Amino acid sequence: MRVVVFNVRYSPNLGDGILAECLERELAKALPGAEVETVDLAGRDAYGAADSRRFGVLRLLGAMPAPVRRMVVERVLGRRLAALRPVWKRRIEAADFVVIGGGNLFQDDDLNFPLKVGQVLDLCRETDTPVGVFAVGVSSHWSPRAAALFGRLRDRRVFHASVRDAGALQNWQAHFSDWRDASLAPDPALTVERAEHAHGHVHRVRPLVGLCVTHPVVLHRHASGDAQAIPLASVESYRSLSGQLLNAGCDVVLFTNGALEDQAFLERVRLDLPETDGRMTGRCGVVARPSSPDELIALIGSLDGLVAHRLHACITAYALRIPAVGLGWDQKVKGFFRLTAREPFFVSAHQEDEAAIAKRVLAALEQGIDPETHRLCVAGARGAILRLTRDMKMSAPAVGRASA
């Protein structure tokens, strides 16, 4: 059996790579002898292939009216997708099954993902390849063009459909009320295991809290609520929170998930970190940009606590049993904290200042991760992958077609 998975494995945001690698590994476990290949929807084939122009593009797009943004994205992306089409077709023709997921792929970010997913669906139709949608995020609003592109699912051979949280499920049901339901499949990154990585947790005199830095432009562009009310969205707020945690007896380290725009903002934050007296020298620092999912996992695994907007920083921390405080900007983060029964450690937009966030961090460090809830959540993620493979096996005619 050959399975081809489409997601954004090689995104500069290495959280997507963690997700993709976990899904690959768990599929291989569940399908002994099967070949599992991941194809990046942006055409990347290695980590570190970041586009230095991305930040400028994001700023430029943000200044355009929505209809103009979609027109520009479709024109520019159309040329790239045309070049990728024959490559993707060869891989899909050789596959028994195609899986789209996981990740926040069913969102209308000015047609970026709709166009990419739409091309995959077109190729699955041309090759008569069964397609599954697995553990995806689904946004509430789609433009008519995005709805038409995603709606191509309706006349494809869909053997599985699942989304990653209750909010995504509600949005899926609204978009596909005339077609089929989806099941819940927790994010595959929940299956990260500390034993896979050499640098585990160590005992320290003071707890080490990591602040995962995200550029405010990213938060504002994709916010699902009031972008002006997002917590920890300025240089000053990172400085303030760092100071609050230092004064509370923690050590602090700032890092990113790898995205270049985040790293550029981290450099600005670094220049404005709290001035330390002799008592605090060496207690607040910055980590170099991680270059692979393993490096990011090892970094997060070295912490005692975490504060992050980035979903997969929070997921990875939880998988490694490191208490995190999630910051509100997108419903997907709130959805994950609800899924793991950690709502008290999710900070909604416009809810709290840095002093209050620091208090939540201290409370999270004290409470830790409930082992039984953790066990159930990880088991749920693995069980969802098993259901995906079960649905593959039930689609026997597809195997006969590709293997003939």
Cα–chain-centroid distance for residue 218? 14
Residue 286, phi then psi, degrees to nearest 5: -125, 135
The candidate with the shortest Cα–Cα distance to 181, out of 191, 190, 170, 192, is: 170
Identify which has the larger pLDDT, 362 or 395: 362
User: Residue 147: what pLDDT?
Assistant: 97
Q: Where in the chain is the domain with CATH 3.40.50.2000?
A: 194-369
Q: Which is higher by pLDDT, 195 or 265?
A: 265
CA distances from 55 to 61, 104, 284, 378 (A): 10, 20, 27, 35
Q: How is domain 2-191+377-403 classified at the architecture level of CATH?
A: 3-Layer(aba) Sandwich (3.40)
Q: How confident is the model at residue 386 (pLDDT cuts 50, 70, 90)?
A: very high
Residue 289 has what DSSP assignment? P
Compute the distance between CA of residue 262 and CA of residue 285 in angstroms, rounded to an integer.
16
Among the listed ranges 67-76, 131-140, 295-304, 318-327, which one has the minimum average pLDDT value? Answer: 67-76
Phi, psi angle pair for 104, to nearest 5°? -85, 60
The answer to whether residue 299 scores a pLDDT higher than 70 is yes
Residue 226 is predicted with a pLDDT of 67
Quickly state the pLDDT bin for 187 (edges 50, 70, 90). Answer: very high
Pull the structure tokens for residue 394.
Answer: 């039930």
Per residue in 308-337, pLDDT (tens digit) is 999 999 999 999 999 999 999 988 999 999
Question: In this predicted model, what pLDDT tens digit does every residue of 142-159 receive, in sequence order?
Answer: 999 999 999 999 999 999
* CA separation for the pair 26, 373 (Å, rounded): 21
DSSP state of 15: H
Quick one: the chain helix, strand, coil %, rounded to 5?
A: 50, 15, 30
Q: What is the mean pLDDT of residues 95-118?
A: 95
Q: What are phi and psi of 63, to 5 degrees?
A: -85, -5
Report cis status (omega within 30 of 0) of the bond before 102. Answer: yes
Give the phi and the psi of residue 69 in degrees, each rounded to 5. -60, -45
Q: What angle do CA 381, 130, 26 make, to 5 degrees?
A: 25
pLDDT reading at 59 higher than 90: no
What token pair was written down for 17?
Answer: 């790579």
Distance CA 355, CA 347 (A): 12
Residue 140 has pLDDT above 80, yes or no: yes
| Contact partners, residue 267, CB within 8 Å, separation at least 6 | none
Length of the chain: 404
Report residue 9 as tokens: 């494995």
Q: Average model confidence (pLDDT) for the chain?
A: 90
Contacts of 352 (CB under 8 A, 6+ apart): 231, 360
Query: Residue 402's pLDDT band (boundaries 50, 70, 90)?
Result: very low
| Nearby residues of 275 by Cβ (< 8 Å), 6 or more positions away | none
Exposure on the CB side of residue 1, measured as CA atoms within 13 A: 20
Band (pLDDT 50/70/90 cuts) for residue 22 is very high
CB distance 161 to 180 below 8 Å: yes
- Express as a percent the part of the chain with pLDDT over 90: 78
Q: What pLDDT score was predicted for residue 61?
A: 60
Amino acid 52: pLDDT: 56
Q: How confident is the model at residue 60 (pLDDT cuts 50, 70, 90)?
A: low
Mean pLDDT to the nearest integer, 373-390: 98
pTM above 0.85, yes or no: yes
Helices (H), 226-351: 235-247, 260-270, 293-301, 311-319, 331-339
Q: Torsions phi, psi of 195, nearest 5?
A: -60, -20
Q: Please give the Cα distance from 108 to 88 (Å, whole number).
A: 22
pLDDT of residue 26: 97
| Better pLDDT: 161 or 328 | 161
Q: Are 329 and 225 in contact (CB under 8 A)?
A: yes
d(CA 260, CA 276): 28
CB count within 10 Å of CB 75 equals 9
Instruction: Kindly state the DSSP code that residue 210 receives in the 8-state scheme.
Output: E
Place of tokens 């405080």: 325
CA distance 246 to 209: 10
pLDDT at residue 53 tops 70? no
pLDDT above 70: percentage of residues in the chain: 87
> What confidence tier does 404 reach under pLDDT thresholds 50, 70, 90?
very low
Average pLDDT of the segment spanning 152-174: 97
Task: Report the 10 Å Cβ neighbour count for 401.
Answer: 14
- The mean pLDDT of 159-183, rounded to a whole number, is 96
Contact (CB, 8 A) for 16 and 187: no
Q: What is the pLDDT of residue 403?
A: 40
Please, where in the chain does CATH 3.40.50.11930 lie? 2-191+377-403
Please give the pLDDT value at position 396: 59
What span, in angstroms and rounded, lies between the C-alpha atoms of 79 and 88? 14
Please identify, in words, the CATH class of the domain defined by 194-369.
Answer: alpha beta
**233-244 mean pLDDT:** 95
